[in-house]
């Protein structure tokens, strides 16, 4: 079995991770005590990818980390979360003040050592570890700074294992913490260097999307939307006979160009509670929605730029792969380098659903937004002293700024066809 170890970092990463585990335990028919109650082979066949069986109980291959204990303690009071291994729940004693530098250059070296030792023990329980996935935020100190440190250490220790992140951020003009642009760009530097695939989720976009069906969506609602998309993305790994059936195959398809591993996703249907009860959406509408800007989970304009690759994942029993191909072929927006897969195990409460993963050059606009905010602050040396006081060198700001600028240039070159790569023949 090709196992995946899940790591959730910081307050946001742990909240998203908790939602993800609740979603996939339902899909694999595992109750809150770890007992499997399913009847179908399809529910059971890939269960060991994310779950470890001990004494006929299934426990998540998960490690929960935060530099301050508040969020994890709150989550752990939930009866559901008591079926995580207690040894895999790691808390520091002092937070890092929402600062990337305080997370990366953390004085409490015992925490990173404990996390790495726990990962080693968890990997020893795997028959054939295929890789790691991380949920975190790029806005706070633990998810961004400590997350960058952990990513560096993992890549050093596991150079041949796949790594992907589900990374939360915001495109809002107003920041909860004024140093968020620094946290984001400094984190992206380490994602570029170490990660095979990064799925961005934008809080501002998630809020707008959720507002279409809810009056006042909460962070809990936004995290549920992220976890639903994560469930769709990981369908390929968890159920039998899927195209892109492991992390490396999916990453190889989605990333035809080195460094351009920043992906967007969409999900459909996004229903009100009434419509969920009706459970009805025609296939053509489902396909149109996943290729619609409104259903993307980051801000983007798909008319500007082009797809480098895409994967469409459909779930449900009331459709065939032939029907799906026919509808995709008739789309006004043609996507050549696309793979399509159908899993008959539906999401809970939905007969049919779909998740689209896209590598699209329009993501450069989001990256430009962060780079401009970063550069505006850095030119004025705002808050630089505080970062350097935690152990950073000012040159790290310059390197991160330059690296992100180069990445944006690469997206632009490929968008305008200025590349000799053989992959261009497969791209619109």
As to burial, measured by CB atoms within 10 angstroms (0-12 exposed, 13-18 middle, 19+ buried), residue 382 is middle
In this structure, are residues 121 and 69 in contact, taking their beta carbons and an 8 Å threshold? no
Question: Residue 279: its pLDDT value, please?
Answer: 57
pLDDT of residue 419: 56
Q: Which pLDDT belongs to residue 80?
A: 62
Residue 271 has pLDDT above 70, yes or no: no
* 2-252: CATH number: 3.40.50.1440
By DSSP bridging, strand 51-54 and strand 57-60 are: antiparallel
Please state the rounded mean pLDDT for residues 380-390: 95
293-347 tens-digit pLDDT: 999 999 999 989 999 999 999 999 889 999 999 999 888 667 888 999 999 988 8
Cα torsion angle, 323, 325, 329, 334, sign = positive
Domain positions in the chain are 2-252
CA distance 8 to 65: 6
* Per-residue confidence band for 274, with pLDDT thresholds at 50, 70 and 90: very low
- pTM of the predicted structure, to 2 decimals: 0.94
Q: Is 127 exposed, middle or buried (0-12, 13-18, 19+ CB in 10 A)?
A: exposed
Q: What is the pLDDT of residue 341?
A: 94
Instruction: Note whether 291 and 356 are within 8 A (CB).
Output: yes
DSSP 216-259: S--HHHHHHHHHHHHHHHHHHHHSSS-SS-SHHHHHHHH-SSTT
pLDDT beyond 80 at 415: yes
Please tell me the number of Cα atoms within 13 Å of 289 on its side-chain side.
18
């Amino acid at each position: 079995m090709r196992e995946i170890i899940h790591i959730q970092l910081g307050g946001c990463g742990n909240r998203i991770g908790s939602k993800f585990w609740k979603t996939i335990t339902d899909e694999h028919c595992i109750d809150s005590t770890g007992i499997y109650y399913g009847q179908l082979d399809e529910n059971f066949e890939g269960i060991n990818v994310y779950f470890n069986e001990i004494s006929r109980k299934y426990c998540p291959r998960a490690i929960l980390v935060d530099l301050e204990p508040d969020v994890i303690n709150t989550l752990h009071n939930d009866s559901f979360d008591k079926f995580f291994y207690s040894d895999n729940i790691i808390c520091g004693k002092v937070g890092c003040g929402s600062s990337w530098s305080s997370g990366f250059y953390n004085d409490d070296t015992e925490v990173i050592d404990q996390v790495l030792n726990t990962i080693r023990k968890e990997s020893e329980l795997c028959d054939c570890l295929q890789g790691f996935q991380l949920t975190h935020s790029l806005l706070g100190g633990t998810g961004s700074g400590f997350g960058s440190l952990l990513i560096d250490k993992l890549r050093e220790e596991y150079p041949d294992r796949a790594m992907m992140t589900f990374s939360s951020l915001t495109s809002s003009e107003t920041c909860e913490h004024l140093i968020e642009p620094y946290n984001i760009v400094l984190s992206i530097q380490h994602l570029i260097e170490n990660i095979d695939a990064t799925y961005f989720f934008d809080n501002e976009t998630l809020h707008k999307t959720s507002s279409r069906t809810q009056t006042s969506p909460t962070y809990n609602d936004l995290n549920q939307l992220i976890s639903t998309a994560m469930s769709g993305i990981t369908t390929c790994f968890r159920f039998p006979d899927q195209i892109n059936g492991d992390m490396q195959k999916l990453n190889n398809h989605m990333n035809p160009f080195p460094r351009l591993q920043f992906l967007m996703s969409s999900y459909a249907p996004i229903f009100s509670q009434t419509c969920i009860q009706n459970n009805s959406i025609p296939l053509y509408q489902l396909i149109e929605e996943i290729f619609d800007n409104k259903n993307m989970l980051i801000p983007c304009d798909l008319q500007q730029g082009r797809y480098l690759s895409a994967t469409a994942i459909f779930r449900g029993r009331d459709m065939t792969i032939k029907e799906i191909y026919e509808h995709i072929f008739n789309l006004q927006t043609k996507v050549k380098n696309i793979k399509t897969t159908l899993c008959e195990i539906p999401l809970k409460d939905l007969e049919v659903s779909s998740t689209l993963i896209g590598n699209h050059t329009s993501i450069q606009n989001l990256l430009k937004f962060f780079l401009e905010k970063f550069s505006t602050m850095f030119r004025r040396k705002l808050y630089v002293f505080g970062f350097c006081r935690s152990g950073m060198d000012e040159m790290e700001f310059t390197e991160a700024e330059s690296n992100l600028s180069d990445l944006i240039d690469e997206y632009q070159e490929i968008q305008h066809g200025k590349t000799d790569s053989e992959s261009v023949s497969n791209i619109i």
